[in-house]
Amino acid sequence: MKMYLFTAQEMQSLDRATIEDLGIPGLILMENAGRGVAELVCRRFSSGARVAILVGPGNNGGDGLVIARHLKARGFEVTAYLLAPEEKFRGDAAVNLRAARAHGVALVAILKDSLLPLLEAGLGQAEVIVDALFGTGLRRPIQGRLAQALEMANRSPAYRIAVDMPSGICADTGKVLGVAFRAHLTATMAAPKLGQVLFPGAEYVGQLKIIDISMPQDLISRQAKPRYLLDPDLLRPWLPRRPPEGHKGTFGHVLVVAGSPGKTGAAALAAMGALRAGAGLVTVAAGKGVNSILETKLTEAMTLPLPETSEGSLAPEAIEPIFSFSKRLRAGVIGPGMGLHPGTKDLARKIILEFPHPLVVDADALTVVAEMGPQMLGQSPAPRVLTPHPGEMGRIFGLSAREIQAGRLKYAQSLAQVTGAVVVLKGARTLIAEAEALAINPTGGPGMATGGSGDVLSGIIAALLAQGLPAFWAASLGVYIHGLAGEALAEERGPFGFLPTELADRLPKTIREFISLQELSLKLGDGLLGEDNCRQPKP
């Protein structure tokens, strides 16, 4: 199943389509939502457990009241705290407020600050807190009493479950609006939301469970935008085939334009990334002065010793040999450790604009893109994949890395639209954007944040391009397996201190493991999608 990510507005139109076109009343959707969450509680806690439910004024609160009714019926000791006056409950939520009352659910209205100590005591004694304050309808920062209620919930030792969204997290951006509920588990309705996988939202979600509320999967797929949470099922079909009769020519020849004195390692890492990701042949093009170093470092890759500048980096005269060599190539990488000598930048500009094959543009070559103006990339004769970290992205937009981080999605999409290229914005939850599609990568970890890790990634993506993958999928698969290799090393070697060389070396085994990953085992926030990692139920 493809993991499409939705915005709040898209969820509303799915809701509408289910109700109006398929004739399933909203009350049934709400019943399914609430019963689904109640079942999750029953699986983890035994009847008799004390459950406190925070109920907001919208349909999220309505879900909460359904949960209250079902848990009460199964013997839980339930208190629903209403944080909005009754007259604010409308439609399905109002129906469920009446039903909860008729079923004898304890309803406690917290409508004055003087009642907050009562709420605090209730939350402190609860074994489970269910947050049904706000879901996809959150519109502005949470303030006042509601904010205090969430802070009290976060301080409680109880197990915390968020209904649909942790209240306070924007479903579209993952931003915290005021204060947010810190969930151990988030039970989301029908499909995951963007804000659950983007940081900081992802940190508040905990384990993510998807509740089937009777929205048919084909409707969900039909209405989904090409916005994916990367997972093995989605990516496996893109893994290049190795036909038994294949030879090195079948798997493509990658050119790595990289390296200069002091930075030959970057070139070597990109080359190793490409080799470990299955490229048939790899050639490194660098200044002739560093050739013997590269030849010593790299046994399997070939080198192309070329004219150099006074700094030992590639000179503009290298363009002829590179273009005449390019006939035998399928893809390239430019930038790692390339240097920023004016002559080298002239050469890089030509390669970025004229290289006739798909090209990964990384590191120093991204400075060249920033200087020439990214819109120039529209002229390139073949696909381009730009792989900036937030600092490099900042140079392109004339912004700080911090500003880029505050709007990662927006900047990645806008650069993809301006350039027609695929943009890989690196960092926690790397984004892969092209003009019409977006993917978010859940693999990897902070142990990978070390110099050289990105060089390996650019080599991997180039190898996948050389094996014929479309640029968006080469980038997506490359980022995903690079992250998986990092996770494996963090497990095997320790959380940090493993090296980019080891990342490249871990790839073949990682790919084998990736092929056999049957289940979704995606790290989301603290938890794993589809796995139980919570407290044991009481005997």
Query: Which residues contact ligand LP7C6HRI by CB under 6 A?
Result: 11, 15, 26, 29-30, 33, 56-63, 134-142, 146, 163-165, 189-190, 213
User: Using CA atoms, how far apart are residues 30 and 248, in angstroms rounded to an integer?
Assistant: 57
CB of 219 to ligand LP7C6HRI, least distance (A): 12
Is 451 annotated as ligand-binding?
no
Q: Are 319 and 347 in contact (CB under 8 A)?
A: yes
DSSP three-state, residue 89 = coil
Q: How far is the CB of 151 from ligand LP7C6HRI (least distance, A)?
A: 15
Query: Judged by CB under 5 A, which of 5, 163, 220, 290 binds K ion?
Result: 163
Cα(40)–Cα(209) distance, integer angstroms = 9
Choose between 163 and 386: whose C-beta lies nearer to ligand LP7C6HRI.
163
Cβ–Cβ under 8 Å, residues 182 and 152: no
**CB closer to K ion out of 179 and 294:** 179
Under the phi-then-psi rule, with left for phi > 0, alpha for psi from -120 to 50, and beta for the rest, what region is 212? beta
54 binds K ion, rule: CB under 5 A: no
Task: Consult the annotation and say whether 131 binds a ligand.
Answer: yes
DSSP string covering 470-529: -HHHHHHHHHHHHHHHHHHHHHHH-SS---HHHHHHTHHHHHHHHHH--S---EETTEET
CB of 424 to K ion, least distance (A): 32
Distance from C-alpha of 488 to C-alpha of 484, rounded to nearest angstrom: 6
Supply the minimum distance, in Å, between the C-beta of residue 132 and K ion. 5
Q: Is 364 annotated as a binding residue?
A: no
Residue 216, annotated as binding a ligand:
no
* Interacting span for K ion (CB under 5 A) from 156-164, 277-285, 291-299, 364-372: 156-164
CB of residue 355 vs ligand LP7C6HRI: minimum separation in angstroms?
Answer: 47
- Give the amino acid at 274: A
Token pair of 500, please?
Answer: 């980019």
204 token code pair: 């508040």
Q: How far is the CB of 103 from ligand LP7C6HRI (least distance, A)?
A: 18
The verdict on whether residue 291 carries a ligand-binding annotation is no
Q: Does 172 bind K ion (CB under 5 A)?
A: no
Residue with tokens 């036909």: 243
Residue 140 contact partner, candidates ligand LP7C6HRI, K ion, none, CB within 5 to 8 A by sort of partner? ligand LP7C6HRI
Q: What's the one-letter identity of residue 227?
A: R
Which of these segments, 15-23, 167-175, 231-239, 328-336, binds K ion (CB under 5 A)?
A: 167-175
Nearer to K ion, 154 or 476 (CB): 154
Please count the other Cβ atoms lying within 10 Å of the Cβ belonging to residue 95: 17
Contact partner at residue 30 from ligand LP7C6HRI, K ion, none, CB < 5 to 8 Å by partner kind = ligand LP7C6HRI
- Pick from 419, 414, 411: nearest CA to 393: 411
Q: Does 131 bind K ion (CB under 5 A)?
A: yes
* Residue among 39 and 295 whose Cβ is closer to K ion: 39
Pairing of strands 302-306, 281-287: parallel
- First vs last C-alpha separation in the chain: 36
- Bridge partners of 439, per DSSP, are 228, 432
Task: Tell whether 389 is in a known binding site.
Answer: yes
The reply, when asked if residue 455 is annotated as ligand binding, is: yes
131 binds, among K ion, ligand LP7C6HRI, none (CB under 5 to 8 A by kind): K ion
* Cβ nearer to K ion, comparing 156 with 167: 167
- Distance, in Å, from the CA atom of 191 to the CA atom of 4, rounded to the nearest integer, reads 7
Q: Rounded to the nearest whole angstrom, what is the least distance from the CB of residue 183 to K ion in the complex? A: 8
By beta-carbon proximity to K ion, the closer residue of 196 and 467 is 196
Nearest approach in angstroms of CB 313 to ligand LP7C6HRI is 54
Residue 346: burial class (beta carbons within 10 Å; 0-12, 13-18, 19+) = middle
CA dist., res. 413 & res. 421, Å (int) = 10
Please choose which of K ion, ligand LP7C6HRI, none residue 272 contacts, taking the beta carbon within 5 to 8 angstroms, the exact cut-off set by kind: none
User: Looking at beta carbons only, is 193 or 426 nearer to K ion?
Assistant: 193
Q: What whole-number distance in Å separates Cα of residue 151 and Cα of residue 153?
A: 5
CB atoms within 10 A of CB 509: 12
Ramachandran class of 91: left when φ > 0, alpha when ψ lies in -120 to 50, beta otherwise: left
The smaller minimum CB distance to K ion, of residues 162 and 284, is found at: 162
- Dihedral angle sign, alpha carbons of residues 475, 477, 478, 480: positive
User: In the bound complex, what is the minimum distance in angstroms from residue 407's beta carbon to ligand LP7C6HRI?
Assistant: 21
User: Residue 50, annotated ligand binder?
Assistant: no
- Is 427 labelled a binding residue? yes
Known binding residue 214? Answer is: no
The annotation places the binding site at: 59-63, 131, 135-141, 164, 167, 266, 337, 389, 426-430, 454-455
Binding site for K ion (CB under 5 A): 131, 162-163, 167
